[in-house]
Amino acid sequence: MDPMTAYLISCENATCAVPEAYREIFRGSEEVVASPEGWEPGALNLAQGFAMRFRTPLVHGDVTRLLMDFEEDGDARWSRFALQLPEATRLKLVDRHERPYRTQITQRIAEDLRRHAAVLHLIVHTEAATDGKVTLETPPGAVLAEPIAAAWQARLHTSDFEVHHHRNAPAHAFAASLCRNFPPDQYAQLRLGVSQTFFLEGRPWRWETIKKLLLESLGQVVAEVTELSDRESPSTDPR
């Protein structure tokens, strides 16, 4: 087993795409779909940057969240637009879009844990409700993810933008199920939220500048936390 930490990058709200078969329910509301209500501007660009940096495939949503919310289960998946569709049609959406997305992520984690000591699952989001802020969220019982997030927060700290680490943050349905299914000392789930003001308005930092900082600092932090953990682990030397 490779002692190095593997990386998995995912991005649910990567696009505002609407397959042709479903465009009728959005007729007259195209601006809503293209707005932050329909997707997260900059999220896919940032997620692609992480995937390239760590040479790992990216798993991302392929339709607007107004058609189906990849993070949720049951009725919470469906927006006011999607609820106009017959139930049978919505079930087809699950089969064609949600199930492949979730299967890819679950299989990737299982495969990474067979080959590596741990996997860091970075869930990438951009946020319309914040201004010039970076948010790191770790779920309850995040044995491995919490020290990574704390170290990353410290590394990112500047006077020009806010960096917050929310511990014990309630996870969305799919993310919570992953936490239940994989051991917290091997599976580190970390949700990254970056204000859309960086991407859309270039403030308080230019997008490429904050993006470069995030990409470069994460690998450094993971290496430091892993090294510290190895030093603090009880010795197995029988002497």
CA nearest to 184, candidates 237, 113, 87: 113
- Are the C-beta atoms of residues 197 and 31 closer than 8 Å to each other? no
Distance CA 46, CA 179 (A): 24
Q: What is the mean pLDDT of each run of 10 residues along the chain (239 residues)?
A: 86 98 97 98 98 97 98 97 97 97 98 96 97 97 96 89 95 97 96 98 96 96 82 51
Residue 238 within a domain: no
- The pLDDT score that the predictor gives to residue 237 is 44
The two three-digit tokens of residue 141, written as one number: 């019982």
- The pLDDT score that the predictor gives to residue 128 is 97
Report helix, strand or coil for 135.
strand
Residue 204: asked if its preceding bond is cis (omega within 30°), the reply is: yes
Residue 239 within a domain: no
Residue 186 within a domain: yes
- The pLDDT score that the predictor gives to residue 4 is 87
DSSP-assigned states of every residue in 35-103:
STTT--TTHHHHHHHHHHHTT--EEE--S-TTT--TT--GGGG--TTGGGS-HHHHHHHIIIIIHHHHH
- The pLDDT score that the predictor gives to residue 157 is 86
pTM exceeding the 0.85 threshold for the entire prediction:
yes
- Are the C-beta atoms of residues 49 and 82 closer than 8 Å to each other? no
What is the side-by-side order of every strand in the sheet holding 116-127? 58-60, 2-11, 116-127, 187-195, 133-137, 162-166
Residue 55 within a domain: yes
- The pLDDT score that the predictor gives to residue 24 is 97
Distance CA 206, CA 25 (A): 36
- Are the C-beta atoms of residues 169 and 191 closer than 8 Å to each other? yes
- Are the C-beta atoms of residues 193 and 135 closer than 8 Å to each other? yes
Residue 237 within a domain: no
Number of domains observed in the structure of the chain: 1
* Domain range for 137: 2-232
The distance in angstroms from the start CA to the end CA of the chain is 25
- The pLDDT score that the predictor gives to residue 232 is 66
CATH code of residue 180: 3.40.630.40
Classify strands 133-137 and 187-195 as parallel, antiparallel or unpaired: antiparallel
